[in-house]
């Protein structure tokens, strides 16, 4: 019987050795020692015992918070670090840990509070500025986040991509100069970052600096010859510069990589139309419409190409679809009016021109077309009024002047 008691006491002592003097600090010291020896279960028992004796034992609170954080139990870790801060409001370890926990939980306002407190203690730590910048960025305070990142020394790759992300945020908000600054900061760290080169090009494109935009897109493609976005965007800049042959080449490369972008077909079609290759243009407008049949711009482009091919019935159908999809487009109404006029449907052309004028009273082409329609209906009085209005809008517009003088004779 005596031997059994001795064995039981020995087993218990292996689980949690009793200190000579039972106190909170002694248990905490034992817990720390076991933790360093990676005997975590026993160390946690010691820290728990220490807190039973003294709920304000900061050593135990810190180690328990650390233990649960390392084991991904963030709720328990947060509980211990919060208690630690109640006792020591400027405990840097607790503030850093709570900041990371809040970031992980996407509680950016709470995380920001922690990093701001840390910076009050020591504002020279670049890592703290980095995390503050992340919080501000996620909260939408982009200008303040830029200031924070300027002082930061975060993980190199993450910092590069953060500057790049900020650049695109400013770009989407229409703040192109700020966007360029962010892309430049990303490129200062990584001069070959294709995403920032493309983003910078997009900014120049919006500023109508198309040559500079093309330089950026070309540099991006040098980094990745299959980078679809840069190839497509270069096509847009070339199109804006009326370099239609180069634009077509870009769109063909882009379509070889991804043939699901309706606008890629549209801009290729528009470039072909501007080069007078109307049959090829029609084929590409149709491809764009296959991908997005509800886009009135695609139908208008198709209608204009059919018009140049003298396929007036197909052109009329295309413009009818365009005004059905967008009844507020005065240009499409005006063009539809001219097509009815060309096919001698004068009674149908007049409502189209009137609709165009209703939408945009200074549409000189609609006034001229309306005048032409009235002439062919022998309503010369109304025709003269229309021609005079077209000339009033544009005194250099020759067609209504010629038509007016012929009526006067």
pLDDT, tens only, 278-304 = 999 999 999 999 999 999 999 999 999
How many domains, in total, are found in the chain?
Answer: 1
Q: Which of 299, 305, 241 is nearest to 272 (CA)?
A: 305
pLDDT, tens only, 223-277 = 999 999 999 999 999 999 999 999 999 999 999 999 999 999 999 999 999 999 9
CA atoms within 13 A on the CB side of 191: 0
- What confidence score (pLDDT) does residue 16 get? 52
Q: Does residue 65 lie in a domain region?
A: yes
Q: Does residue 40 lie in a domain region?
A: yes
Q: Does residue 264 lie in a domain region?
A: no
3-state secondary structure 316-332: HHHHHHHHHHCCCCHHH
The yes-or-no verdict on residue 60 having pLDDT over 60 is yes
Long-range contacts: 107-115, Cβ < 8 Å, 24+? 108/134, 108/135, 108/138, 108/139, 109/135, 109/139, 111/135, 112/136, 112/139
* Separation of alpha carbons 409 and 401, rounded Å: 13
Q: Does residue 43 lie in a domain region?
A: yes
Q: Which of 239, 220, 240, 238 is nearest to 230 (CA)?
A: 220
| pTM > 0.85: yes or no | no
Q: Does residue 148 lie in a domain region?
A: no
Q: Does residue 227 lie in a domain region?
A: no
* Separation of alpha carbons 159 and 189, rounded Å: 9
- What confidence score (pLDDT) does residue 5 get? 37
Q: What is the CATH number of the domain that holds 76?
A: 1.25.40.10
Q: Does residue 80 lie in a domain region?
A: yes
Range of the domain at 72: 24-88
Q: Does residue 79 lie in a domain region?
A: yes
């Amino acid at each position: 019987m005596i031997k059994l008691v001795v064995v039981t006491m020995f087993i218990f002592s292996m689980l949690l050795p009793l200190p000579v003097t039972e106190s909170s600090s002694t248990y905490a010291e034992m817990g720390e020692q076991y933790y360093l020896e990676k005997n975590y279960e026993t160390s946690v028992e010691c820290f728990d015992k220490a807190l039973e004796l003294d709920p304000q034992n900061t050593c135990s609170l810190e180690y328990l918070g650390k233990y649960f954080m390392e084991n991904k139990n963030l709720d328990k870790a947060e509980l211990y670090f919060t208690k630690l801060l109640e006792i020591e409001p400027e405990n840097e370890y607790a503030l850093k840990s709570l900041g990371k926990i809040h970031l992980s939980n996407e509680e950016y306002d709470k995380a920001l509070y922690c990093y701001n407190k840390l910076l009050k203690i020591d504002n020279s730590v670049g890592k703290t500025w980095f995390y503050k910048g992340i919080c501000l960025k996620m909260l939408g305070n982009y200008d303040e986040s830029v200031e924070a990142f300027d002082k930061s020394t975060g993980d190199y790759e993450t910092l590069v991509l953060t500057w790049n992300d900020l650049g695109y945020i400013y770009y989407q908000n229409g703040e192109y100069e700020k966007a360029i600054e962010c892309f430049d900061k990303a490129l200062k760290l990584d001069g070959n970052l294709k995403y920032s080169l493309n983003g910078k090009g997009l900014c120049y494109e919006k500023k109508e600096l198309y040559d500079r935009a093309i330089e950026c897109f070309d540099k991006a493609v040098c980094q990745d010859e299959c980078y679809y976005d840069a190839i497509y965007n270069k096509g847009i800049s070339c199109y804006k510069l009326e370099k239609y042959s180069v634009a077509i080449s870009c769109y063909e490369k882009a379509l070889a990589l991804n043939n699901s972008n309706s606008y890629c077909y549209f801009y290729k079609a528009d470039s072909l139309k501007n080069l007078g290759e109307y049959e090829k243009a029609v084929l590409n407008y149709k491809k764009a419409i296959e991908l997005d049949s509800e886009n009135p711009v695609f139908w208008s482009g198709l209608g204009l190409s059919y018009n140049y091919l003298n396929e007036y019935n197909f052109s009329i159908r295309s413009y009818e679809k365009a005004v059905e999809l967008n009844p507020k487009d005065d240009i499409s109404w005006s063009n539809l009016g001219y097509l009815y006029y060309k096919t001698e449907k004068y009674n149908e052309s007049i409502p189209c021109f009137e609709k165009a004028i209703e939408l945009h009273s200074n549409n000189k082409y609609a006034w001229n077309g309306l005048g032409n329609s009235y002439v062919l209906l022998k309503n010369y009085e109304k025709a003269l009024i229309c021609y005079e209005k077209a000339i009033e809008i544009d005194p250099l517009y020759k067609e209504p002047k010629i038509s007016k003088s012929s009526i006067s004779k």
